[in-house]
Amino acid sequence: MAEQSFHVGVPVAGVALALLAALGQPSAVAAPPPTDPMGITGPGTAAASRFVPGPCPEPPEPIDALATARCGVLEVPENRARPGGRTIRLAVAIIPPVSATPAPDPVVFMSGGPGGETFDDIPFLVSSGLNRDRELIVMAQRGNLYDEPNLACPELDRFYARSVGLPSYAPQTEKLMLDAVKQCRDRLTAGGTDLSAYNSTENAADFADLRTALGFKQWNVYGHSYGSNLALTYLRLHPQGIRSVALDSAAPAQYVSLPFAWANAREGLDSLYKGCAAEPRCQSRYPHLERTLNEQVRKLEAQPLTLNVRPPQGGDPVKVVLDGGALVNLLVAKAIPFADVPAAIDELGRGNPDRFAKARAAGSVQVVGQTAHGLTQSVVCSEWVPDHSPSDVLKAGREAFPEWPEAVQAQAPQLAFQAPVCRIWNVPDRTAVQRVPTVSSVPTLFFNGTFDMKTGASWAPRTARTLSHSTTVEVPGIGHWVVPQSPCAQKVLASFLTRPTAPDTDCVAGLRWEPFTITPK
């Protein structure tokens, strides 16, 4: 996954034709309007949103749940503010329930990113029990893989693969990234894509149209990371038919901005430090964890290590540059399992960079064309970046980590060079319509992991203040995307879907984090 995605962090990896009549709708649908050679409706022919049954996507690695799923596409206007514009197609899968007597209200999933590949998440959703008692509906957000158009940026994928051998924040690294961004933007816009239409407002309207098109009176929403941001936007703009909302690793629309990335990194790292200090063996073995990391960030930013390292995925060794910025980004991305982080920091301080170097080398292996970087940049540049200057990011970095060098403080973790990137991407400022709290009485459940360095757990209770029927759950020792990693969280979510106003959270009280790895002195 690209370094810019808030979808990163899951430690475990990541069809039949359907008749509309099977979804409770008339079997006859209007014939598709004329399409251009790309299969996208041309200007002046956009119609109302509708679901069209069709085959399921065929991922490179088969997904078992798709073998029995009903699939198709949701046809929607690309830009609802421009009547008569072109229509785009969003891939949809409806996964049957395990239960022979399922509940009538399905669960619809909103994936992270923005721009993360949605269908790859299906195995995690199924193993977490999302389709145990009700149908599970998965739709790729506009611009994703299997959509038309697909806003992939192979140019950026190739840059990310190359960047592991470059200093994180050097001018030449910035130039290469900006060149890749411009190439992608030029290609997408030359193909007729309206980048301003790829935003959370349109994404939310797509899901509202999907519920109507499938004929469901009500459904439950489960979103993680950016998907939680989208779920809150959806609840605010289209509350009709929403029975309950579960937010995993919440990224509330009113708070998400580049400066906040530093506060979240600080919160998650502090929680990890406290976890080590609370574990006698960890505290005894690594008594100066924070001091060691601070020293290494300063030292390696001043004098980076250049190494040849074999990626964990296999293949020939690759050039890796390990500097202060790389250390920070690897930690925030959970490129090293939390249980191993104290050992990795201690080993680095003793002259052994192996764990960090291998984690950095892993980034040299990119799945080209999988991530919808076009959606990523359109959302980030219209909703997260505006009305905060680079000096605001630097100030937040200084406040969070005053001992780190300015070159590191000046770039939000995993979102480097975003100001010049957004000047190139050139989409309208949407902060006024997006950074708005959601006020609702719909039952809402928050899951957050205490070690999450992307979306701090403190966001949940702050966001819950305007959600009158909300429950917040913190799972110790878990990072980004809690439910697939925690059997307890899965039980809580199942009880919430059964009784949204009274979820059973008893299992949370006895939870502990995985013991930290203790290496010999």
Q: Does 38 score more than 80 pLDDT?
A: no
197-210: average pLDDT:
98
Where do the DSSP E strands lie in 388-451? Answer: 444-449
Average per-residue pLDDT in the chain?
91
- Rounded distance between C-alpha atoms, residue 3 and residue 163, angstroms: 10
Phi-psi region of 235 (alpha: psi -120 to 50; beta: other; left: phi over 0): alpha
Q: Do residues 424 and 178 make contact, with C-beta atoms less than 8 angstroms apart?
A: yes
259-264: average pLDDT:
97
For 41, 77, 424, 451, the CA distances from 66, given in Å and listed in that order, are 27, 27, 38, 33
Within 8 A by CB and 6+ apart from 126, the residues are: 64, 65, 95, 136
H/E/C letters for each residue in 247-315? EECCCCCCCCCHHHHHHHHHHHHHHHHHHHHCCHHHHHHCCCHHHHHHHHHHHHHHCCEEEEECCCCCC
Q: Do residues 124 and 131 make contact, with C-beta atoms less than 8 angstroms apart?
A: no
Q: Does 39 score more than 60 pLDDT?
A: no
Beta bridge partners of 415: 412
For 17, 105, 132, 215, 413, the CA distances from 100, given in Å and listed in that order, are 22, 14, 10, 21, 46
Helices (H), 339-387: 341-349, 354-362, 373-379
Q: Does 238 score more than 50 pLDDT?
A: yes
**pTM attached to this predicted model:** 0.91
% of the chain at pLDDT higher than 70: 91
483-512: average pLDDT:
97
Least confident interval from 15-29, 230-244, 498-512 = 15-29
pLDDT in tens, 80-126: 999 889 999 999 999 999 999 999 999 999 999 999 999 999 999 99
Beta bridge partners of 475: 449
Around 376, how many Cα atoms within 13 Å sit in the side-chain half-sphere? 29
Longest dimension (CA), the chain: 71
Q: What is the pLDDT of residue 18?
A: 23
Q: How far is CA 256 from the centre of its chain?
A: 13
